Homo-oligomer: A and B are copies of this chain.
Amino acid sequence: MIRKLCIIGVGLIGGSAARRARRFCEEIVGIDADPENLRRAETLGVIDQGCASLERGVAAADFVLIATPVGAIEPLFRALAPLWRPDCIYTDVGSTKGNVVEAALRVFGIVPPNFIPGHPIAGAERSGVEAADARLFEGKRVILTPLPESAPDALARVEAFWMHLGARVERMDVGHHDEVLAATSHLPHVLAFTLARMLGRKDEQAEIFRYAAGGFRDFTRIASSDPKMWLDICRANRGPLLELLGEYETALREVAGLVRSDDADGLYACFSEARAAREKFLKSTENNHA
Contact in complex: A188, B195 (CB < 8 Å)? yes
- Could you tell me the dominant secondary structure of chain A's interface residues? helix
Contact in complex: A211, B121 (CB < 8 Å)? yes
Contact in complex: A185, B213 (CB < 8 Å)? yes
Partner of A197, one of B125, B191, B274: B274
Contact in complex: A227, B272 (CB < 8 Å)? yes
Contact in complex: B223, A141 (CB < 8 Å)? no
How far apart are the CA atoms of A251 and B122 in the complex, in Å? 29
Contact in complex: A288, B210 (CB < 8 Å)? yes
How far apart are the CA atoms of A177 and B248 in the complex, in Å? 28
Closest Cβ of chain B: how far from A258's Cβ, in Å? 8
Count contacts on A: residues with CB < 8 A to the other chain: 93
Check A26 for interface membership: any CB of B closer than 8 A: no
Enumerate chain A interface residues (CB-CB to B < 8 A): 121-125, 140-141, 143, 176, 180-181, 183-185, 187-203, 206-225, 227-228, 230-231, 234-235, 238, 241-242, 245-249, 251-253, 255-256, 259-260, 262, 264, 267-268, 270-282, 284-285, 287-288
List 7 A-B pairs, minimum CB-CB distance, nearest first: A200-B277, A227-B271, A184-B212, A193-B274, A197-B274, A196-B274, A209-B281
